[in-house]
């Protein structure tokens, strides 16, 4: 009988470990999913839909060879968010996205992790400069994309909602 398997690389940043999602991470994602902080990514969401999102994110690794990492503080082992790459079948190309959980915003974790993942995507995976699709009213995410050097390329739509499509810069090999 064939089996599915995937090797998810562990990445490190100055204060963070970016690792595979584990079932123990679900509680933090459930709290995030139920919060108003998810208003720009289709939430809030109930337990059923958050579980479906959690498990489909793991399946994304199997299908595409990339996905969202669980982001863990090196010192405490606490999960602070999930950040990674996604390529939904209806999207124009791979996207770099981030979800920082309540209590961990404003510490630079999203920037630190997203930069490490973007560098890995370019240098380790050979991906072309990617996009981030951000709701126009999501000012924190827009500022993060701009801090990373991404610029608005065009307007778009994700699941019936408007978005700004930011293009991340090329990096030297």
**pLDDT tens-digit readout, 67-76:** 999 999 999 9
End-to-end CA distance of the chain: 41
Q: Is residue 150 pLDDT above 60, yes or no?
A: yes
Q: Is residue 4 pLDDT above 90, yes or no?
A: no
Domains of the chain: 11-127 (3.40.630.30)
Are residues 118 and 130 in contact, defined by beta-carbon separation less than 8 angstroms? yes
Q: Is residue 99 pLDDT above 50, yes or no?
A: yes
- Vertex 132, ends 131 and 136: CA angle to 5°? 130
Longest dimension (CA), the chain: 49
Alpha-carbon distance values, 85 to 26, 37, 135 (Å): 19, 20, 17
DSSP H helices in the chain: 26-33, 47-64, 109-119, 139-147
The mean pLDDT value for 100-124 works out to 95
Q: Return the structure tokens found at 11.
A: 């990445």
pTM listed for this prediction: 0.91
Q: pLDDT per residue over 10-27, tens digit each? A: 999 999 999 999 999 999
């Amino acid at each position: 009988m064939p089996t599915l398997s995937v090797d998810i690389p562990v990445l490190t940043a100055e204060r963070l470990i970016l690792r595979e999602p584990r079932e123990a991470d679900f509680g933090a994602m459930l709290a995030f999913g139920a919060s108003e902080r998810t208003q720009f990514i289709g939430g809030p969401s109930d337990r059923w839909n958050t579980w479906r999102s959690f498990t489909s994110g793991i399946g994304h690794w199997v299908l595409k060879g990339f996905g969202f990492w669980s982001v863990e503080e090196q010192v405490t082992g606490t999960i602070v968010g999930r950040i990674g790459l996604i390529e939904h079948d209806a999207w124009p190309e791979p996207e770099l996205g981030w979800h920082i959980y309540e209590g961990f915003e404003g510490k630079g974790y999203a920037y630190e992790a997203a930069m490490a993942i973007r560098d890995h995507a370019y240098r380790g995976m050979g991906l072309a400069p990617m996009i981030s699709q951000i709701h126009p009213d999501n000012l924190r995410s827009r500022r993060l994309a701009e801090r990373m050097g991404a610029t608005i390329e065009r307007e778009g739509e994700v699941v019936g909602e408007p978005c700004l499509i930011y293009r991340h810069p090329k990096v030297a090999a």
